[in-house]
A and B are shown apart, each in its own frame.
Chain A
Amino acid sequence: DTAVSQTPKYLVTQMGNDKSIKCEQNLGHDTMYWYKQDSKKFLKIMFSYNNKELIINETVPNRFSPKSPDKAHLNLHINSLELGDSAVYFCASSRFSYNSPLHFGNGTRLTVT
């Protein structure tokens, strides 16, 4: 199936740990994103990569580090997890940069205890 897929779907971990979320798209898109959805359902962009190059880095703590080994993959590594990092993280992709339809993965629900 053509899609944006991210793993894991659920992630429960303790404060201070380091974790990673992986994302892959087989749509042939050039641009990939990480969005964070908080408990009130508000969606906010964190990072945007175009053809493996970082083009957006919103005000996100530097404990969050994206890595794009190729244009089909965008992973998110989080160091020293904090309670406030609990949220749903969505990977997304679009064919070109911002002016084309956005396709989301199914999300990763991160719970920090």
Chain B
Amino acid sequence: GIQVEQSPPDLILQEGANSTLRCNFSDSVNNLQWFHQNPWGQLINLFYIPSGTKQNGRLSATTVATERYSSLYISSSQTTDSGVYFCAAVSGNTPLVFGKGTRLSVIA
């Protein structure tokens, strides 16, 4: 099945800094999603982005399917951005496969 790898595994930022999280996948995908798990454990869907670029406030995501990667850009980070960011992909007719996540800590 498809392999999904995320980097970096851990990231510490000063409030106000920008960051890019990376997601590489081993096969062609027809579905790519980004999720944020907040410190209370809730999993929030950030983007459904099988290709192209989308923006939502300070967050934007880009998927380049031909190069088998997706990236999540966080600008002007805030402490509320802390948590774990997951990338998940579907290849063919299989359910979403999750990466191991990037743990982000934003310090005031």
Contacts and interface: CB of A to CB of B under 8 A. Distances in A.
Contacts, number: 52
Interface of B: 30-31, 33, 35, 37, 41-45, 48, 50, 84, 86, 88, 90, 93-96, 98, 100-101, 103
Given A42-B98, A42-B100, A43-B86, 7 more contacts: A40-B100, A45-B95, A97-B93, A99-B31, A104-B44, A104-B45, A106-B42
> How big is the A interface, by class?
20 to 34
Contacts of B93: 97-98
List 8 A-B pairs, minimum CB-CB distance, nearest first: A104-B43, A101-B48, A43-B98, A98-B90, A99-B31, A45-B95, A101-B45, A107-B41
A44 B84 CA distance: 16
Interface of B, secondary structure class, is strand
Contacts of A97: 93
